[in-house]
Amino acid sequence: MTQTVRAAPIARSRGSKPPTTLDTPVTYLKGAGPAAAERLRALGIERVADLLFHLPSRYEDRRRIVPLAQLKPGMEALVRGRVVAADVRFAPRRSLRVAIEDGSDSLLLRFFHFNETQRDGFVAGRWLRAYGQVRAGANGLEMVHPEYRLADDPSLLPPEPRLTAVYPTTAGIAQARLRSLIRQALDIAAKDSAFNAELPGLPPPDTLSALRLLHEPDGEDLGPLLVGRHPAQLRLLREELLAHQLCMRWLRRRSQAAAAARIETLPATQAALQEQLPFALTGAQRRVLAEIAQDLASGRPMLRLVQGDVGCGKTVVAAVAMLACARAGLQAALMAPTELLAEQHAHNLARLLGHLGVEVGWLSGRMKRAEREEALRAVATGERPLWVGTHALFQSEVRFARLGLVVVDEQHRFGVAQRLALRDKGRLGAGDGQAWVPHQLIMSATPIPRTLAQTLYADLDVSVIDELPPGRRPVQTVVISNARRAAVLERIGQACRAGRQAYWVCTLIEESEQLQAQAAEETYRQLRAELPELRVGLVHGRMKPAEKEAQMRAFVGGLTQLLVATTVIEVGVDVPNASIMIIDNAERLGLAQLHQLRGRVGRGGQASQCLLLYQPPLSDNARARLEVMRTCHDGFVIAKRDLELRGPGELLGRRQTGVIGLKIADPARDAGEIPMLTQLADRWWTQAPRAAQRLIARWIGDAGRYAQV
């Protein structure tokens, strides 16, 4: 009986192999066994469809065989010749050396990684076609580890009929294997009627034709292809941007389908808090608060991003919204990416709201057990309405009684899943049995141009605080060569002796022979020697969290005068007494990062300076960035220039662009497409819902999983 049970499924699987579709695992393809599938997973390739959208990163021209006599060092070329000799040498390291000739000259091919079967294939007299980069060797020109094919007849080794695609890959997956798998995927897609169904509103070519041309470019004019403006590329980038718009709308509609607490107390709360403030709210703050008030009173979950430059007063706006929530009998939670920033928010909120009798709670992963248990009890009972913390706020043991509002600071430092986890805390108990979703207020001090915001945050309403409080002095920015370092040191010494504090930001943690940058640890030692009268601190990302926090607290408390740091201090440090920011090797950083770092000074009443130290010579791009910083203080203008110069990946950081997941589209380059695609996305929801579902599945996969990236 046991043998029959075991044998039956084997017989069925052999006799009825399921048809291969775009949803089939790649292991069903020829050349993709379990080991290869595991490596492909590292590239995000699990299904056959994933291969279609694993697009080339560049192209190689193998359409002409270059005679060996015409080769020059540095060339990438396709060559063909007869094998003259092949042997294995062991000095200076084990290598397989293959000599070929074509009648015009000879060339040496070298392989450091090879097996016996590979070695035995290089029989004298056989013909070989190889592609690789030519370099000068000890005994003439050579290629190291070229791609090659062997044959007994040269006519079997013709040049390629089209450009050869080169793909992003990983260890153990050769380019030839990727090309073979992608060809199989294209053939499967050609038989899929759903994949080839018409997508209304998008100009030709169709999707399959566009993919075929990108994977296997034909012999037409390929100039537009190499600069990213070929009709095939335009078709796919429009599809991708449209899929993103559709998916964000799906997320937004799903969120807004839920109920939320109706909070109508914000206008009165704003007036009460204004009476306690020593300054008047700016017009921009009042405008944004009016938008938030309308959202909170709607009965649907608010999903609003508040953008604003460093120092524009986002915290006060968040305080008004949180206080309005508390006055409505609900709880509000503010989540920040670091302990220090969360602690600063808790201190600022307590200072702003203390006169109104509202207590602010604090929840940290580093609290002592008894203290944490008391905080969890206060969260669960609702006796304390306002809470501030780090990711500890969304851990499983945290149970809010009536969570009405979630405020997330520096959204790009959190994954979307973390924000959603905190939002979902509101479903656990609303007191009266109603399972509502909390309102969400997202704050960002990284200004984002409108076209990019429409792509990144299509599920959010966007508010902009584009006005600084009166009396805020712009930071004087000076671009200075590293050759004048002594003058910079003198300026720091004068400022610190006068009671001020300064930052010295380095771009690396330890020395590198390849990069001309002062490392933080070496700079720390140098500055302690050059300025022995100053108390100098050090912070970098490889320090233990407790050590890093201690150093930051010492600087915040004035115990150290000069803080040497890497860019870990980019966000959230608020030291009003710091009046000088030195950024070493500033040419290595993007505009958005430079602007964020500059925003760490100028927070008090005194005049402040930002010194951009650079290592000459400067590239044209670096010179342009530093000039923008010298002449401009508007974060939105700077963000626009940064997007133009460096692209969205540099503007937002790798984590945020990973959330976008764009394969071919570029929101900076393709900004002109977005308004049309936004309108098309709106039409598709009502007129072509099936097409919308197909496109989301094609480019993104499961929309629910997309939300959890």
Summarised one tens digit per residue, pLDDT across range 11-25 is 334 444 567 899 899
Which secondary-structure segment (H or E) carries 562? strand 562-565
CA distances to 45, 46, 396 from 36, rounded to whole Å, are 11, 11, 37
Q: Which residue has the higher pLDDT, 225 or 178?
A: 178
**Residue 549 reports pLDDT greater than 50:** yes
The strand pair at 578-583 and 536-539 is best described as unpaired
User: Is 701 part of any domain?
Assistant: no
Residue 213 banded pLDDT, cuts 50, 70, 90: very high
List of residues 6+ apart from 16 with CB closer than 8 A: none
Alpha-carbon span 540 to 220, nearest angstrom: 52
CATH of the domain at 76: 2.40.50.140
Average pLDDT over residues 343-365: 86
pLDDT at 515 over 70: no
533-537: list long-range contacts, CB under 8 Å, 24+ apart: 533/493, 533/497, 534/492, 534/493, 534/496, 534/561, 534/562, 535/559, 535/560, 535/561, 535/562, 536/560, 536/561, 536/562, 536/563, 536/564, 537/562, 537/563, 537/564
CB of 207 within 8 A of CB of 224?
no
Whether 647 shows a pLDDT value over 60: the answer reads no
- Residues 313 and 179 grouped into a single domain: no
Q: Which of 101, 134, 159 is the last residue of a domain?
A: 159
Which region among 418-422, 438-442, 597-601 has the lowest average model confidence (pLDDT)?
418-422
Whether residue 697 is contained in a domain is answered as no
134-189 tens-digit pLDDT? 999 888 999 999 999 999 999 999 999 888 899 999 888 989 899 999 999 999 99
Q: Which of 441, 465, 489 is the last residue of a domain?
A: 465
pLDDT number for residue 45: 93
Is pLDDT at 591 greater than 50 in this prediction?
yes
Cα angle 443, 444, 449 (rounded to 5 degrees) comes to 125
247 in a structural domain:
no
Q: Is residue 543 part of a domain?
A: yes
Q: How confident is the model at residue 427 (pLDDT cuts 50, 70, 90)?
A: low
pLDDT at 651: 39
| Same domain membership, residue 411 and residue 318 | yes
Confidence of residue 580 (pLDDT cuts 50, 70, 90): very high
Task: Please tell me the distance from the alpha carbon of residue 182 to that of residue 445, in angstroms, as a whole number.
Answer: 42
Strand partners, 443: 306, 409
Question: Do 628 and 497 reside in the same domain of the chain?
Answer: yes
Q: Say if 342 falls within a structural domain.
A: yes
Buried b (16+ CB within 10 A) or exposed e, 297-331: beebbbbbbbbbbbbbbbbbbbbbbbbbbbbbebb
Average pLDDT (506-518) is: 56
**The pLDDT of residue 248:** 80
Shared domain check, 564 and 487: yes
- For residues 503 and 621, state if they share a domain: yes
190 and 292 part of one domain:
no
Omega into 205 within 30° of 0, i.e. cis?
yes
Q: Pairing relation of β-strands 147-151 and 127-137?
A: antiparallel
With a pLDDT cut of 70, the percent of the chain lying above it is: 85
pLDDT value of position 426: 63
At 283 the pLDDT is: 95
Q: Are residue 449 and residue 492 in the same domain, yes or no?
A: no
53 and 69 share a domain? Answer: no
Same domain for 426 and 349, yes or no, is yes
Find the CATH number of the domain harbouring 494.
3.40.50.300
Structural domain includes residue 45? yes
Helix (H), strand (E), coil (C) string for 224-287: HHHCCCCHHHHHHHHHHHHHHHHHHHHHHHHHHCCCCCCCCCHHHHHHHHHHHCCCCCCHHHHH
Q: Is the pLDDT of residue 262 over 80?
A: yes
**Amino acid letter, residue 322:** M
Decide if 389 is inside a domain: yes
Cα–Cα dist 453/468, whole Å: 21
CA gap 540, 533 in Å, rounded = 23
Among residues 466, 538, 516, which one has the least CA distance to residue 622? Answer: 516
Domain boundary among 159, 192, 218: 159
Q: Which residues pair with 502 in a beta bridge?
A: 562, 580
The tally of CA atoms less than 13 A away on the side-chain side of residue 273 is 26
Q: Which of 74-83, 219-228, 384-393 has the lowest mean pLDDT?
A: 219-228
Given a contact cutoff of 8 angstroms between Cβ atoms, the answer to whether 587 and 616 are in contact is no
Same domain, 521 and 545: yes
| Average confidence (pLDDT) over 589-610 | 84
- Alpha-carbon span 285 to 154, nearest angstrom: 75
Nearest to 175 by CA among 97, 47, 81, 62: 62
Q: What is the mean pLDDT of residues 567-595?
A: 82
Give the global pTM.
0.68
Q: What is the pLDDT of residue 129?
A: 97
Q: Which domain holds residue 480?
A: 476-632
347 and 299 within one domain:
yes
Is position 449 within any domain? yes
Is there a contact between 250 and 685 (Cβ–Cβ < 8 Å)?
Answer: no
In terms of domains, do 184 and 46 share one? Answer: yes
Look at residue 449 and tell me whether its pLDDT is greater than 90: no
| Amino acid at site 62 | R
Express each pLDDT in 297-306 by its tens digit.
Answer: 999 889 898 9
Number of domains in the chain: 4
70 versus 553: the higher-pLDDT residue is 70
